[in-house]
């Protein structure tokens, strides 16, 4: 379709005949995300608030359908790039933020962290050096005041504000650690996402990024599980996959919207979770 034809089609959204308007909406949706710039242009040009609302809803639906497809493709392609997966979560609320914005921020942090590392450092010293860069020099910290805010699940905002929930802070920390050749991975503890430094079977300890990189032992994890009256399952001690991290990020986001009584957004995020889940997407494990 030409630009003129597209604009003519969009103008019919406000047709007084319901069937015509409904047909036009379906036609616009069938054109996919490529029509969004034209919808945005029409939104800016019209003074009709009803038409603006229709356009806003259509743009959201188109963006959501596109996101649903992209997150399924990410999973089907192996879910290898964790930053891409977290960026897709980010895209639900901030569709205009590009992946490059996140990677550039990570690149700068990596350069600063790399400069603080020395050859043949003991694993504990590696963690302490990375802790120093992130929590002392860069002043990253836990967002305890707005813990359940949806913004806490947005990786680009965690990088901008240097505040986040356990998961977003862990993703930043783990990404840097892995680029520094440190064997650091995510661990799906209930109610608190942490990291593990696992060097084969020779050495393993844990890192609580939400508490400024505090080093924990296996017995610390045992005690934590005991306090929650849970059985000590392997998943509470061993590394989890990128797909599990992104699923947890989506559960966090859905829970945030539920706390805000925004059930429409909570339902949409649950649809994203279902699209990449082989199990029950309602399983617990927030933060």
What digits encode the pLDDT tens for the residues 108-151?
Answer: 999 999 999 999 999 999 999 999 999 999 999 999 888 889 99
* pLDDT reported for residue 198: 96
* pLDDT reported for residue 19: 84
Number of residues assigned to the chain: 287
Question: The pTM is what?
Answer: 0.88
* pLDDT reported for residue 34: 85
* pLDDT reported for residue 188: 95
* pLDDT reported for residue 279: 60
Report pLDDT digits (tens) over 50-107.
888 889 989 999 999 999 999 999 999 999 999 999 999 999 999 999 999 999 999 9
Confidence category of residue 158, pLDDT binned at 50, 70, 90: very high
Inform me whether the pLDDT recorded for 281 exceeds 70: no
SS (H, E, C) the chain: CCHHHHHHHHHHHHCCCHHHHHHHHHHHHHCHHHHHHHHHHHHHHCCCHHHHHHHHHHHHHHHHHHHHHHHHHHHHCCCCCHHHHHHHHHHHHCCCCCHHHHHHHHHHHHHHHHHHCCCCCCHHHHHHHHHHHHHHHCCCEECCCCCCCHHHHCHHHHHHHCEECHHHHHHHHHHHHHHCCCCEEEECCCCCCEEEEEECCCEEEEEEHHHCCEEECHHHHHHHHHHCCCCCCHHHCCECCHHHHHHHHHHHHHHHHHHCCCHHHHHHHHHHHHHCCCCCCCCCCCC
Average pLDDT over residues 182-190: 97
Inform me whether the pLDDT recorded for 285 exceeds 80: no
* pLDDT reported for residue 74: 97
Assess contact for 83 and 91: CB atoms under 8 A: no
């Amino acid at each position: 379709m030409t630009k003129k034809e597209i604009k003519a089609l969009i103008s019919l959204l406000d047709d007084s005949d319901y069937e015509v308007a409904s047909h036009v909406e379906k036609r616009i949706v069938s054109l996919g995300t490529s029509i969004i710039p034209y919808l945005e242009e029409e939104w800016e040009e019209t003074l009709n608030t009803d038409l603006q609302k229709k356009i806003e809803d259509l743009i959201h639906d188109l963006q959501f359908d596109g996101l649903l497809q992209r997150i399924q493709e990410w999973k089907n392609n192996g879910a290898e790039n964790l930053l891409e997966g977290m960026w897709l979560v980010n895209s639900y609320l901030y569709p205009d933020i590009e992946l490059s914005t996140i990677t550039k921020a990570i690149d700068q942090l990596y350069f600063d962290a790399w400069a603080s590392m020395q050859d043949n450092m003991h694993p504990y010293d590696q963690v302490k050096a990375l802790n120093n860069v992130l929590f002392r020099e860069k002043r990253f910290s836990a967002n305890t005041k707005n813990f359940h805010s949806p913004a806490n699940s947005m990786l680009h905002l965690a990088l901008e504000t240097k505040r986040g929930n356990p998961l977003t802070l862990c993703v930043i920390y783990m990404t840097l650690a892995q680029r520094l050749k440190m064997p650091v991975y995510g661990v799906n503890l209930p109610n608190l996402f942490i990291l593990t430094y696992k060097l084969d079977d020779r050495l393993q300890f844990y890192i609580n990024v939400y508490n400024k990189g505090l080093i924990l032992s296996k017995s610390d994890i045992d005690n934590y599980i005991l306090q929650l009256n849970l059985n000590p399952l392997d998943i509470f001690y061993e590394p989890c996959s990128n797909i599990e991290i992104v699923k947890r990020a989506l559960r966090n986001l859905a829970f945030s919207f539920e706390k805000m009584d925004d059930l429409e957004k909570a339902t949409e995020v649950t649809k994203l979770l279902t699209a990449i889940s082989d199990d029950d997407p309602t399983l617990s494990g927030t933060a």
